[in-house]
Each structure stands twice: as C-alpha cells, then as structure tokens.
Amino acid sequence: MVHRPPSTVKRMKLSIVLSTQQAQFQAATFKGDLETNLARIASFGYDGVELAIRDPKLVDLDNLEGLVRKYNLRVPAIGTGQAWGEEGLSFTDPDPIVRRVSIERIKSHIPVVSHFGAIIIIGLIRGIVKPGVDHALAMDWLVEALRECSEAARLKDIRLALEPINRYETTLVNNTAQGLELIERVGTDNFGLLLDTFHMNIEEPDIEASIRACGARIFHFHVADSNRWYPGAGHLNFKSILKTLEATGYRGWVSGEFIPKPDAEMAAQKGIIHLRQI
C-alpha cells in the first residue's frame, strides 16, 4: 500500500497566550483586563487560551475558571516563565535557596493545572548559566529540578513540557537535539518538549526534520512567524510545518505566542485566519 501524506491539516485546536498579570514579556499577545481579553479571544474563533501565570498565589482560581467557562474556552497549557522574567527565579541559580523556591513555585502550579487539564510549560525558569557556574553543573541542577517536578506532577497525571529557547535568551537547551538529550537524562515519561517555531527558525537547520525527530515527545506547540509576528507576517511555511507536525501523530494544541503588532486584536485575527486556511 502506498502511504501518502495528508494534503490538508485536520482542524487544529488553536489557542493563544494571555498573561493573567502585567508582564514585560513581549510575545504574550494579550495582557491586561482578563474578561475583555477572553471575550476577544473567543470572538476571533480560538478554542483555547494559554495562560501565563507568574505565581498561582496571585490568581483567583474560581474567577478565572468561571470566566474561561463563560467564554467557552479551554486552557491547554500554563506558562511559568514570568517567575524568571519578573522575579529572577531559576532552576540553575547558584544560590540553593533560589533553586528550591523555583522548584516549589513550579510544584505550586500543579493544582491550577490539574483543574484545567493543562500541561506545565518549563521555559525560562530553567535559567541561564550564571557567571562562575560550570555548564555541566547547571545541567545537573536542571535535571534534578525537572525530575523532582515531573515526579510530583505525575502523581496528578500532569505533563511538563520544556521549551528549547534560542541562544539570545538562554545558554541552556537551545535546540531540539539538546531537548531530546535532556529528556533521556530526566527519564520520566510525563516530561516532553514544547516546540516554538520562532526559536526553531533561529536554531534548527531544518524545522520539519526536527519536528519528525521529536515525534511523540512533542507535548505542546507554539507558533509565531520568523519575525515573531503572527503566522503569515514572516517567511515561515506553516503549511509544511503543521502537516509535518500532524504526521507525527500530534493531536495537541497549536498555541499562538506572538508580538501584539500592529496590535493584539489585529495580530490574533490575522494569525487565526492564516492558520485556518491551511
């Protein structure tokens, strides 16, 4: 029997990033008033909203859940990187107290995440190799922290996804090959990868080949174009990328994480139109 790749991508579950609090991170497409933003996101046709939460203690979970339900949205993933961006928390800080607080912060997301049936994103909270720290030692700290967090998450059937992030933002785990090596070292089956087309365009020699190599280890997927604007605003071939993703068997979410330009509404609308055309 001849096996032919599908000519179109099945209807994808699309979400978009919304920060539950003000944040410096540029590519959280929506920030500010929660209800207004959830209403807009739903009206543009998104199925879900990926929430960036710096600290679960600061979130009124009942209110959040009520609003998400009111606008018939799902929450596929919770981003945690603002704990690094705003507070400097990381798994690889030379100070053991900072490392402990960072691990506890990630574990504190477990009740929120299990509420929504979401996954926990490990982005910049992995940290960077700080001055005076050896790269191998930072990797050891990272592996230990990820083992502890993924073992705690597994008790609640929760998955964690580490995002390879480009070299200009971190010195730890920049590409998918390093991400796969890390998965081997951590050794827990609820720990996988979040691939982001913006970072892949900088770090991967061949985006489609890297997606195929990650296969079943892909737990979540971020889309932004080459310039980190909405899909369709740069030179990435989303048709080819998403067909390749689907061919791996991935049936998870495709989440828009792009700069709110020319403004958040326009970016969200143009992005979804481009992706739905595929």
Which residue among the candidates 163, 203, 204, 246 is catalytic per the annotation? 163
Which residue among the candidates 86, 181, 257, 265 is catalytic per the annotation? 257
Q: Is the peptide bond before 131 cis (omega within 30 degrees of 0)?
A: no
- Those residues with Cβ within 8 angstroms of residue 39's Cβ, 6 or more apart along the chain or in another chain: 71
The answer to the question of residue 50 lying near ligand LER (CB under 6 A) is no
Binding mask 191-230 for Mn ion (x = CB under 5 A): -----x-------------------------x--------
CB of 123 to ligand LER, least distance (A): 4
CB of 62 to ligand LER, least distance (A): 27
Q: Of ligand LER, Mn ion, none, which one does residue 124 interact with (CB within 5 to 8 Å by kind)? A: ligand LER
Residue ranges of alpha helices (H) inside 34-162 are 34-43, 61-70, 82-87, 96-107, 110-116, 135-154
- Those residues with Cβ within 8 angstroms of residue 263's Cβ, 6 or more apart along the chain or in another chain: none
Active site residue 265: no
Binding mask 233-272 for Mn ion (x = CB under 5 A): ------------------------x---------------
Using alpha carbons, list the distances in angstroms from residue 30 to 64, 86, 105: 15, 17, 23
Residue 17: count of CB within 10 angstroms of its CB? 24
The answer to the question of residue 225 lying near ligand LER (CB under 6 A) is no
Name the β-bridge partners of 15: 48, 255
CA angle 20, 232, 225 (to 5 degrees): 60
Active site residue 151: no
The answer to the question of residue 163 lying near ligand LER (CB under 6 A) is yes
CB of 8 to ligand LER, least distance (A): 27
Burial of 94 per CB tally in 10 Å (0-12, 13-18, 19+): middle
Residues that bind Mn ion (CB under 5 A): 196, 222, 257
Residues that bind ligand LER (CB under 6 A): 25, 79, 81, 123-124, 163, 165, 169, 196, 222, 257
Q: Active-site residues: which are they?
A: 163, 257
